[in-house]
Structure 1
């Protein structure tokens, strides 16, 4: 929710912000465990310890709350700071950090279940899949594209089409593992195996886009 839509004055502001956070945390937990249809606004209000009226006062409807919950979940694993290029952090390390966070996010049990729900809803002609994509995957994709654009301008990488390159990067991180998990064939990579997968994907990406003068 944009900052200009939050309470701007009055003694109740800190309490209101705390309630908003509680509602978001409850929504994330229920949407990811029970799906969209299985999570009512009444249940979310009860989980957050607030009234349903309070939920609606912060988030105008269930679809809006769902979008904000997805955005918040993505930002937990992939905070915006990860997509800011720093002179102190080698570009390879930045890519490894993003790749690790993304891999953990998409291969979590909750994320896999949510993706399956979205596929089912899309087959039914629901617009909720579009809401999900814009709030989560698309926002992450554009954040990555901006980092690659910055890396190109700094001469650390050579990226003619940052958006396309960002798409390629995340596809490399997904690999075949994510698809097998989605259809229930196989288990998520753990520990050193997960780290090696991300490292290999980053190395492939850098071989394609590293500038001759890159660190």
Structure 2
């Protein structure tokens, strides 16, 4: 994995001008995701991304400003593709446990994909410590997911299904628990959990979350106190 030298300067914004070609922007993002995953951040140049996308380097810069911004945009596009906004809609017709399992399965599928694991490893290298990239990635990916899930939790709280004092914290806890040991093993390259184990892990995590925050039936609560 190629390392990145520190770049503490703030990211540039794309230059103003004519409306951007959405097709070219998508092609650039796809090329960036492939190359960053395969070659790392420092191992990938804007020239290579331009060639892979079939556009000029000037077009890449006009869309994304600099490589750091492009990396963050690629991460955001990946998250939005794997976890679209529709996944976090309240959908009151779906039982709460089933709804949480749907989100848990989609989230773990996203973070366990080879490109996501590679991106995580890039961000964990010591060279990233003084770079703006980890914060840019956090805002573009994990923060977006946690905020969207928090809105779903608020709706379910208002519907009387959950009782949560600190919704942002509960949202963070949910995804942290989902990652757990299986994701750590993936990042470290260890052989461990199989598909059946992963599903059991996700189900037990959802059940643990519900034991902490679900509104219990009064009869159940009374019985538990006896």
TM above 0.5: yes
Q: Which has the higher contact order (CA 8 A, sep 6+)?
A: 2
- Work out whether residues 162 and 215 of structure 2, in 8 Å CA contact, stay in contact via their aligned partners in 1: yes
Moved over 6 A (4+): none
Shift of 1:180: 2.1
**Offset at 1:195?**
2.1
Partner of 2:112: 107
Q: Which residue of 2 aligns with 1:154?
A: 159
Q: What residue number does 1:198 align with?
A: 202
Structure 1 unaligned blocks of 5 or more: none
**Considering only CA atoms, is the larger Rg found in Structure 1 or Structure 2?**
2
Deviation string 1:129-149 (CA, Å, 9 cap, x unpaired) is: 111111111221211122111
Is the contact made by 2:177 and 2:205 (CA closer than 8 Å) also made in structure 1? yes
In 1: Cα distance, 2:169 partner to 2:133 partner: 25
Task: Name the structure 1 match of 2:212.
Answer: 208
What is the TM-score normalised by the length of structure 2? 0.82
Equivalent-residue separation in structure 1 for 2:150 and 2:127 (angstroms): 26
Q: Is the aligned partner of 1:50 residue 2:55? A: yes
Is the contact made by 2:72 and 2:137 (CA closer than 8 Å) also made in structure 1? yes
Structure 1 vs Structure 2 CA RMSD: 2.0
Q: Tell me the TM-score normalized by structure 1.
A: 0.85
Note if contact 2:182-2:198 (Cα within 8 Å) is conserved in structure 1. Answer: no
Tell me, yes or no, if the aligned pair for 2:72 and 2:133 is still in contact at 8 Å: no
Distance between the aligned counterparts of 1:205 and 1:120, measured in 2?
Answer: 32
How far apart are residue 167 of structure 1 and its match? 1.3
